[in-house]
Structure 1
Amino acid sequence: MTASFRALRRLALLAVATALPGLGWAQDVLVRNASVHTATARGTLDASDVLVQGGIIRAIGPGLAAPAGIETVEAGGRPLTPALFGGITDIGVEEVSGEAATVDSAVKLEEQPQRPEFDVTLAYNPDSVLVPVARVEGIGFTALGAANGGGFVAGQGGIVRLDGGADPIGPRALFVRLGASGSELSGSSRAAQWMLLDQMVAEARGRIAADSPHALLTPAGRGTLARYLAGNGRVVVRVDRAADIRQLLRWAERERIRIAIAGGAEAWRLAPQLAAAGVPVFVDALSNLPAGFDQIGATLENAARLHAAGVPVSFSQDDDASHNARKLRQLAGNAVAHGLPWDAALAGLTRVPAQAFGVADRIGSIAVGQQADLVLWEGDPLDVGHYAERMWLGGRAVPMRSRQTELRDRYLRQEGLPAYRR
């Protein structure tokens, strides 16, 4: 191998490393003169700078001195926010929902279908084509949620940053589905869900012998559930009906389990109780018509009413969430249009989900010491008429490209049309 060939090979490897967000080195950058939406108690800092060194936010304030050789990005007063939350999704564990070979989000076993030990993060693919699709929209992290296969206790998931890294961050969460949508997985009755949950808790706490012929859980499942019963991780429950939420609150208080609610179409009816219990709710802010009897009380004011009562509000969606993570900005903007304060909506896309999943010490806000997961916007990030101009994850600039943008540009060129400009 000649010296020139070795040099070219090193350059090629370096190019590959720097092209992939999960590899290479953090970038030092100074974003100057931005409207910095911190998603903290500091609120919005107008005409402020953010200094990033070694992938970490080192300073925030007006007129920061630029260290020698650092890249400076002039924001011109445009909004700078933390990287956004993509909701509870299957990004990285699902490519094509209609092709079973590409979907790894659920486990379906005939015997002992309740498998809390199932951990969907083990199937996460950081090279999924859905990752850059989400990043183009300013999304920097998502909660991988185990989907229901054979049981209403789906299994575990957790937070992944869409930076090309292969591993989740923070504690795992356990995902459960209650109400009408889970009744077919629990003896065709929502009442049976509580019966089965109580038995699983009894098994995990040793009140039912591990070798009982009627055991619902494997030894690994008992150990997993026992960790959540000890407060190590949050149980995320997909539930809509107010009556079911009431039972869930009673069960969680009795068993001392930390819960969150996903969906919660009728959660506003129990807003004071949810606030008192400190239960975050991930709402679909576009839900205003009942898709079934569990959503009779659906309203576009759900998020605003919950927030007014003191409930931590974030956003998620149940239908095709992985391929439509970009819609979360629309959900937040819609909630603002129906009474949710703008800052609370941004917090619902940043700080609130980070807190709910136990990773707020690393992501979800713009603060000194946080990882530099930042997005510079062309305009209001909660208005879908505007877009993300630049993005940094861990201080590293992310290419604002995806398979869709590459196809768009390819066919525009073939047709001889002018290049697309955002």
Structure 2
Amino acid sequence: MKPGILIAGLACVAFGQIQGLAQTEKAGPNGTAPAPAKTIAIVGGKLLTVTHGTIEDGTVVLSGGKIVAVGPAKSTKVSAGAEVFDAKGMTVYPGFFDAETRLGLTEVAADQNNNDLAETADEIEPQMRVEDAFHAETVRIPVERLNGISNAIVAPASADSIPGQDAAIQLYGRDHDQMLLKPEIALAMNFEGNVRRRANFNGPSKFPTTRMGLAAQIRQVFLDAQTYEAERAAAAKPDHKGPTPKRDLKLEALLPYLHGEKPVVLAAYEGYEVEVAMGIAKEFHLKVILNHVTHAQDVLDEIASYHVPVIVGPIYDFPHPDERYDAVYSLPAELQKRGVKIALATGGRDMGGSRNLPYAAGYAVAYGLPYDEALKAITLNPAEMFGLGDKLGSLDVGKVGNVVVANGDPLDVRTSVKQVFIDGNAIPMVSRQTKLRDEYMPLVTKKP
């Protein structure tokens, strides 16, 4: 058999196995409609509330999918009909929020047939929406949520300068629609070296191959959107003569961002990339969330002067030859010292996925970020950045019942998550990995 055919066959087998498991999941965490949320009292645990300190012996009451009570166990009333979850000796905290992922856009990375990461037909495609490609039954989601991830931003890959619009998701629900918490929540915009398309051997590329080209292209499309809006407004007037401009989905998609109604997640790695990209953002009065800034240590004071939030991640990146060994690990601490609101993200890379988010926060603590700020960076801060702070990110009355119970410090790799509640439901603690463990562990441990 030819090597190419063998590889293709193996890929098909792998994809078939995963599809089979995904179908199995439909009878469990992702596919079945959650039962109506009961009243559940999580009692006796150490509560990390995020917004109002730590309660050593506390109670959290969930009802109707919401948090309805939080406080010391002695003074927090629990209704007679409530299910009681004994959390004595455990730690209770809000579900984690990963500020950048590719969840639901990829299944088997090596098989392009099941990757919907980015559309590369053009560099500028704000009309592309990840909600249209989001695969709610992916077997990756249960893996992530079993480590306490309850929410995430799904973003297209950074293959284009404007690859499309992000969506906010909840990692449990009846189907695609229920899990999409807020579609079209932000616009992804990339001003990085790897976005440039190289010229091919048959002639010059139709895409920009320099940062100058990227900058000019981005400016032009925003100018075109402004002109388009003006022409459509003029055509809507009663005294207008002439044809109405044809609808343009690309330009139309940019209008909420030009008006500052939604944030633009602006990704740049190097200091000079940050400066040029922010110059464009200021020119068009964009509401910005800076992203990555992984090797922008030389302009941290300037970043602080922008007064915009920053997503840092992935934190597991090598330093440049002219940087300290800890340059990337200490970046969250250095930004926080300067008063910058930060969120941490796994960045969509297939390096353990979102389940490693709490450990990224742990690394940041080891390199100077205060513990409470690290916890905020994976809970409340990303929720607030994307306009969801009134619903997610802390143990507060009225917020969505996304709560995690674990047997220790959530940022410690030795800690095990014992139960996750999403929308007030105790989710099945089952994933593809646990199924494989349960199937094969007896074979490994069986004595000869």
> Per the shorter chain, which TM-score range?
0.7 to 0.9
Shift of 1:261: 2.1
Shift of 1:295: 11
8 A Cα contact 1:48 1:60, kept in partner: yes
Gaps in structure 2 of 5+ consecutive residues: 1-25, 199-206, 233-245
Cα distance 1:226–1:17, how it changes in 2: closer, same or farther (>3 A)? same
Deviations 1:356-383 (A, max 9, x none): 1111121111110001100011111001
SS at match of 2:227: coil
Alignment of 1:52-91 (within 5 A): 52-62=62-72, 63=74, 64-91=76-103
Gaps in structure 1 of 5+ consecutive residues: 1-14, 212-216
Question: What residue in structure 2 maps to residue 188 of structure 1?
Answer: 209
8 A Cα contact 1:52 1:372, kept in partner: yes
Cα distance 1:17–1:386, how it changes in 2: closer, same or farther (>3 A)? closer
Deviations 1:202-255 (A, max 9, x none): 0010079989xxxxx981110111111111211112211111112222222221
Shift of 1:417: 3.9
Shift of 1:19: 8.6
The 2-side partners of 1:302 and 1:17 are apart by 40
Decide which moves more: 185-194 or 400-409: 185-194
Cα distance 1:202–1:128, how it changes in 2: closer, same or farther (>3 A)? same
Question: What residue in structure 1 maps to residue 16 of structure 2?
Answer: none
* Correspondence for 1:377 among 391, 401, 406: 406
Question: What residue in structure 2 maps to residue 103 of structure 1?
Answer: 115
Shift of 1:177: 1.5
SS at match of 1:205: helix
Question: What residue in structure 1 maps to residue 140 of structure 2?
Answer: 130
Deviations 1:71-121 (A, max 9, x none): 112222422111112341111121011111111121122xx5411000011
Cα distance 1:302–1:134, how it changes in 2: closer, same or farther (>3 A)? same
Question: What residue in structure 1 maps to residue 223 of structure 2?
Answer: 202
8 A Cα contact 2:91 2:407, kept in partner: yes
Shift of 1:51: 1.0
Alignment of 1:141-160 (within 5 A): 141-149=151-159, 151-160=160-169
The 1-side partners of 2:48 and 2:149 are apart by 16
Alignment size in residue pairs: 395
SS at match of 2:279: helix
Shift of 1:329: 1.4
Question: What residue in structure 2 maps to residue 399 of structure 1?
Answer: 428
SS at match of 2:41: strand
Alignment of 1:114-263 (within 5 A): 114-149=124-159, 151-164=160-173, 165-167=175-177, 168-170=180-182, 172-184=185-197, 186-206=207-227, 219-263=248-292
Question: What residue in structure 1 maps to residue 59 of structure 2?
Answer: 49
The alignment status of 1:24 with 2:35, answered yes or no, reads yes
The 2-side partners of 1:70 and 1:239 are apart by 49
Cα distance 1:404–1:218, how it changes in 2: closer, same or farther (>3 A)? farther
Decide which moves more: 58-67 or 127-136: 58-67
| Structure 1 residue identity aligned to 2:185 | R
TM-score computed with the length of structure 1 as normaliser: 0.86
SS at match of 1:240: strand
Cα distance 1:18–1:272, how it changes in 2: closer, same or farther (>3 A)? closer
| Structure 1 residue identity aligned to 2:67 | I
Question: What residue in structure 2 maps to residue 3 of structure 1?
Answer: none
Question: What residue in structure 2 maps to residue 299 of structure 1?
Answer: 328
TM-score computed with the length of structure 2 as normaliser: 0.81
The 2-side partners of 1:184 and 1:19 are apart by 38
8 A Cα contact 1:262 1:281, kept in partner: yes
SS at match of 2:163: strand
8 A Cα contact 2:319 2:328, kept in partner: no
